Amino acid sequence: MNKKFNKILVCLDLTEMDDFLFRYTNFIVDTFTPSSVVFMHVMHPVEIPDEIKSSFPGFNEPVDQLVREELEEKAKELFNAKVDFSIQVKQGLTTETIVGYAKNNKIDLAIMGKKIGYTGEGGITRKVTSLIPSSVLLVTETAPYNINHLWVRMDFSKISIEALKMAQSIKEQTGAKVTCHNVFKLPLNYFPQQTEKQEKRLLDQMTKHGRKEYQKIIKKLNIKEEEFPCEFSMNKEGGEAQILYHKAVQNQADLILSGSKMKSGLTHVILDNTSEKLAGGGKTLPVLIVKDKKLSTGILERIFD
């Protein structure tokens, strides 16, 4: 299964989260052995008035160079993985710069801290996660340094199959346990009122249908259900992400995988609602948003090029 993370981009923001990301990337490199890692910080262009430069000689050195030197010192202290890596500090608009770099350099995985503004509709992490063509690993500072149990969102779509393939690849590299989870919803207008017995019957029927669909998928992938089991849950309240997350926590999973169903328009690309909520604040488990890099890149080219 060729789903290797060869080129990794780690997004820094000059907060305490950077210290964790340097340390966590050690673990990621040891686990996945990428060919290269780029640590990147994007800053808005800074113009320092001449009178300040003359009064404070230290400002004669470009600000981006000062930031780069600071990050290089942190890398010496915190990052010791054996891999080809570089520190890059760029000036420009954060989202456009990160997305453009990932696209032009064929990045396979972007790692971001959840503290990078994932609040409200204008959060940097939300925008980058939506637009970037690579898969995105979102971590908090409490993320464990292990991958023992993968929890895979399964809705039988093409991108959820890609997420399962990714889980299969990670399993091969780490020996992790994999569990898929299908959360299904019944149209309330079809079943406005139901007894407990009727509800159980519907649950059994939907589970049976879902299992048949899942067996078709694993047959195509030539994998065994006992090695990649799938759980089924009914969604009564419209909260697929919450059900997925709670089940993952209850089953001691340490990484959630969700395929990103991208919706494209003339001026924007957005994540589907469930992926966005899984990646949002208040959820401490790491989340891997799996992208179809070829499809995502094609959408970006049609919209922005």
pLDDT for res 193: 61
Q: Which two tokens stand for residue 43?
A: 């800053």
pLDDT digit string (tens) for 250-289?
999 999 999 986 655 444 455 788 888 888 767 889 999 9
CB 132 within 8 A of CB 112: no
Contacts for 242 with CB less than 8 Å, ≥ 6 apart: 277
For residues 135 and 275, which has the higher predicted lDDT (pLDDT)?
135
Query: What's the mean pLDDT when you consider all of the chain?
Result: 84
Residue 147: closest CA among 5, 16, 268, 252: 252
pLDDT digit string (tens) for 151-187?
999 999 999 999 999 999 999 999 999 999 999 887 5
Q: Report the alpha-carbon angle 93-73-20, nearest 5.
A: 70
pLDDT for res 287: 95
Q: What is the DSSP string of 132-178?
A: -SSEEEEE-TT--S---EEEEE--SSHHHHHHHHHHHHHHHHH--EE
Query: CB burial class (10 A; 0-12, 13-18, 19+) of residue 63?
Result: middle
91: left (phi over 0), alpha (psi -120 to 50) or beta: beta
Band of pLDDT at residue 203, cut at 50, 70 and 90: confident
CB 73 within 8 A of CB 65: no
For residues 47 and 86, which has the higher predicted lDDT (pLDDT)?
86
